Amino acid sequence: MKKILILILLTVCSPLFGQKKEFIGIVKTNDGRSFLIKLEFRLKRLGEFDGRTTLDPFGPYKTVTSVTGLFQDSVIIFTELGNLESDIKDTNQQFCFIHTSDLTLNTKGKSMSYQGQYIGYDLNGDTCSIGTIQLSQKEELSLRKVKKVVKTIREKSRDVGDENVKQPDSHETQIKPPPVKRKILRSDKPILIHQNIEKLKWSSDSVKMYFKDTFDEDRDSVRIIINETVFEEFVLSKNWKSFTIPIEKNNVMIRIKAISEGDIAPNTMDVMLFSDDSIFRSSVRLRRDEWTDIILTKPNKK
């Protein structure tokens, strides 16, 4: 009990815990369009956050979207989840949700910004946009500089057409990325549980697997079995643990088995599978000796 109390105090009393952060920056698509974006969030434990993005905050296509992510001193990662509000009146509009890679801190003189790439997915899991993002903390930007950025973006927008990054590119202007299909979990429950078998289409020749404890570290341990062969055993932590394996056959079965439930049952973990053109993320809840399977199926080559 004393250890739990100390952990709670350390978490709550962390200098970053509960801080509100606000960033303003530019989204640049690979076809040359630019859009203003604002990211706002409040930090939770160990740098995790929930918040929202606002695209085109001063324009006619203002769109507010919920996000979840991770913030460290030198890295920001975030994923857009769903629209909260939008000024777009066209009901046929298809929205595109941003998933960033690591946005890393870059320093140039006194200026600091987080820069990196993103991929946008629609509600079906198909790629609808790719490009780069640059974000700076709001307090480091003067109002004059923000207005200058907005003016530049609007001028560029008029040159390429009055469209929104949330809308998939037209066939005439789209620079197509590789074919992408991101599996969306469609189970009765929003988590993977005992004897669940999740089947994913996977076009890549490899998969990078990430695992971490969903909540506070409590010594949950897990065994990863690849095609009935034990691949790795480890204790879950708040930091992502990753492994990369080749996919040499048409089907690969990844079995996630709970060796222990730690101090507080059940065994809880977040799982992410990642490649250059696919991403899958879910949560897992298992009792000791329970398992859940993820089967990756590659399309047959003609």
d(CA 133, CA 131): 7
Same domain, 204 and 74: no
**Which pLDDT does position 5 carry in this prediction?**
40
Q: What is the pLDDT of residues 66-88, one digit of tens each?
A: 888 888 778 898 888 777 777 76
Q: Summarize pLDDT for 24-66 with one digit per residue, the tens.
A: 999 998 888 888 999 999 887 667 788 899 988 887 778 888 8
CATH number at residue 229: 2.60.60
Check if the beta carbon of residue 24 is closer than 8 Å to that of residue 38.
Answer: yes
Question: Pick from 160, 187, 219: which residue ends a domain?
Answer: 160
pLDDT computed for residue 293 by the predictor: 95
Residues 262-294 have pLDDT tens digits of: 998 889 888 888 776 777 777 788 999 999 999
Q: Which two tokens stand for residue 118?
A: 């993103």
The Cα–Cα gap between 58 and 41 comes to: 19
pTM: 0.50
Domain assignment present for 169: no
| Tally of domains within the chain | 2
Check whether residue 112 and residue 230 sit in a common domain.
no
Q: Are residues 40 and 156 in the same domain?
A: yes
Q: Residue 164: what pLDDT?
A: 41
CB 138 within 8 A of CB 23: yes
Distance in angstroms (rounded) separating the CA atoms of residues 24 and 184: 30
Position 258 confidence tier, pLDDT thresholds 50, 70, 90: very high
Domain-located, residue 189: no
Question: 58-67, 107-116, 156-165, 216-225 — which is least confidently predicted?
Answer: 156-165
pLDDT interval class at 132 (50, 70, 90): very high
DSSP element (H, E) containing 67: strand 63-71
Does one domain contain both 23 and 152? yes
Question: What residues make up the domain containing 291?
Answer: 197-297
| CATH code, domain carrying 74 | 2.40.128.120
Three-class DSSP category at 7: helix
Give the burial class of 64: count Cβ atoms within 10 A of its Cβ; 0-12 exposed, 13-18 middle, 19 or more buried: middle
Structure token pair of residue 33: 């369009």
SS3 145: helix
**Final residue belonging to a domain, choices 99, 133, 160:** 160
Q: Is residue 56 part of a domain?
A: yes
In a domain, 179, yes or no: no
Residues 139 and 214 in one domain: no
Domain boundary pick from 160, 182, 215: 160
With beta carbons less than 8 A apart as the criterion, state whether 83 and 64 touch: yes
Host H or E run for residue 114? strand 111-121
- The pLDDT of residue 22 is 93
